[in-house]
Amino acid sequence: MSKKAKTAYVCTLCGADYPRWGGQCSSCGEWNCIQEVRLAAVSDKHGQRAVGYAGGQSELKRLSDVDLLKAERVLTGIGELDRVLGGGIVSGSVVLIGGAPGAGKSTLLLQAIAHIAERGLAVLYVSGEESLQQIAERAHRLKLPVINIMMLAETSVQRICDVLDSIKTEAKAQIVVIDSIQVMHTQDAESAPGSVSQVRESASYLTQYAKKNQVSMFMVGHVTKDQSLAGPMTLSHIVDTQIILSSTDDARYRVLRADKNRFGSIGELGFFAMDSGGLKEVKNPSAMFLNRAEKLSSGSVVTVLWEGTRPLLVEIQALVTDCQYGNPRRLAVGFDQNRLAMLLAVLSRHGNIATAQDEIYANVVGGIKVSETSSDLAIVIGVVSSLKNKIIPHDMLFFGEIGLGGEIRPVANGYARLQDAAKHGFKTAVIPKGNAPKKAIDGLKVFPVSTLMDALDVLAEI
């Protein structure tokens, strides 16, 4: 077997590769970040190459003749995690879980595999960061059932695969946790452990192993300040699913979301609370984000968002103040700044309320990022409430998209949103006419509106 090594040039920041060395990475624009990386060209004893997938034989096939893989799923027993994964762990899939140090990635995975192991499946936790004693202590403190969890302190991906091969016969490990991928290294790459190319090749090596042996893998990845995982594009195209665990403004809570999911939707959010007993599921996230002040002030208004497959009540706050000098500032936190500018223009033209001379700040409480348009109406109402110093009753909510003509457009899942509002004690809802419920909802008075003017009229009467 000839052992001819190939050479590639990889950007250490973003992971882009090039056929030859250059001073600047044309992908991320940084200078002096391209490094030579030697790739092993030969297969090792796991039948794998360091880079690239072990593709099958190339053979033409009709799409209709391709056997459908029955995606078998294993539930982790942690409902919020299963939800974000798209209904449990798909066997043979690789999930990257990212998050800042201290977010609770190790805790979440330890809890998940303990539940899985309790049901008799073989699981392996590979720790490259914490000692086995530390993990044992944590498991003990969280009172987790540990009897069936296999542990391994190792950072070489080849040795991890050797161990996995050796235990395959009696109790084949079906779920493997790699904590974390940043400390893993492969013998095939010559760059320093921890470098982007090492991380990428280790991830790719483990991914091939997982696919070939139908092992499901979780890889932990620490995110940097700009929320990228060891260089933005490097790992997300290798893995099947990428989920991020992040803190909300209230440090006690954690939000889990999928950035990429080959086996489910990415709109889904999972909510947890971190306390002395580890991460606990929050089954009723609306209550957690709607922890409002005792005494409400003007500018505060509630809307109901749609996150994945369920409604979520959130508070939006707006603050309008006189501009002392210079250009008035407009600041949107938690939603698109341009959307705020557009809504203010519509308010001026179709609501006859000019704000051009005012400074305007708008914030979605709780660190939630709003990407849908159903919060338009609540944002505008918040601005008007602050401008006119008019307090909105605590049991009133608004949702609806606002068009450039001042029309209020219906949004998806209107009925379910209203039901959730009623469940949380809301008494009045101002919503698009197109979302007016055909069947009355107990305890909820609905004001369907078709224009922004109509909505402002409802506001004037309270």
Given the rule CB under 6 A, which residues bind ligand TYD?
Answer: 99, 101-107, 138, 142, 274, 276-278
Taking the complex as a whole, the smallest distance from the CB of residue 200 to ligand TYD amounts, in Å, to 21
Question: If you ran DSSP here, which 8-state letter would residue 295 be given?
Answer: S
**156, 218, 302, 313 from 179: Cα distances, Å:** 12, 8, 40, 34
Regarding 106 and contact with Mg ion (CB under 5 A), the answer is yes
CA–CA separation, 9 vs 22, rounded Å?
Answer: 9
Does residue 299 contact residue 385 with C-beta atoms inside 8 Å?
yes
Closer residue to ligand TYD in complex, CB, 73/222: 222
Could you say which of ligand TYD, Mg ion, none residue 64 binds, taking C-beta under 5 to 8 angstroms by partner kind? none
Closer residue to ligand TYD in complex, CB, 99/299: 99
Taking the complex as a whole, the smallest distance from the CB of residue 96 to ligand TYD amounts, in Å, to 13
CA–CA separation, 51 vs 78, rounded Å?
Answer: 34
Does residue 221 contact residue 180 with C-beta atoms inside 8 Å?
yes
CA–CA separation, 47 vs 429, rounded Å?
Answer: 62
Taking the complex as a whole, the smallest distance from the CB of residue 97 to ligand TYD amounts, in Å, to 9
Site string for Mg ion, 364-383 (x = CB under 5 A): --------------------
Site string for Mg ion, 57-96 (x = CB under 5 A): ----------------------------------------
Regarding 107 and contact with Mg ion (CB under 5 A), the answer is no
383: tokens are: 């601005």
Taking the complex as a whole, the smallest distance from the CB of residue 195 to ligand TYD amounts, in Å, to 21
Instruction: Kindly provide the b/e burial profile for residues 373-388, where b requires at least 16 CB atoms within 10 angstroms of the residue's own CB.
Output: bbbbbbbbbbbbbbbe
Taking the complex as a whole, the smallest distance from the CB of residue 55 to ligand TYD amounts, in Å, to 34
Closer residue to ligand TYD in complex, CB, 112/173: 112
Taking the complex as a whole, the smallest distance from the CB of residue 59 to ligand TYD amounts, in Å, to 43
Main-chain phi, psi angles of 221, to 5 degrees: -135, 130
Does residue 359 contact residue 353 with C-beta atoms inside 8 Å?
no
CA–CA separation, 154 vs 299, rounded Å?
Answer: 54
Closer residue to Mg ion in complex, CB, 193/267: 193
Please report, as ranges, the residues that interact with Mg ion according to CB under 5 A. Answer: 106
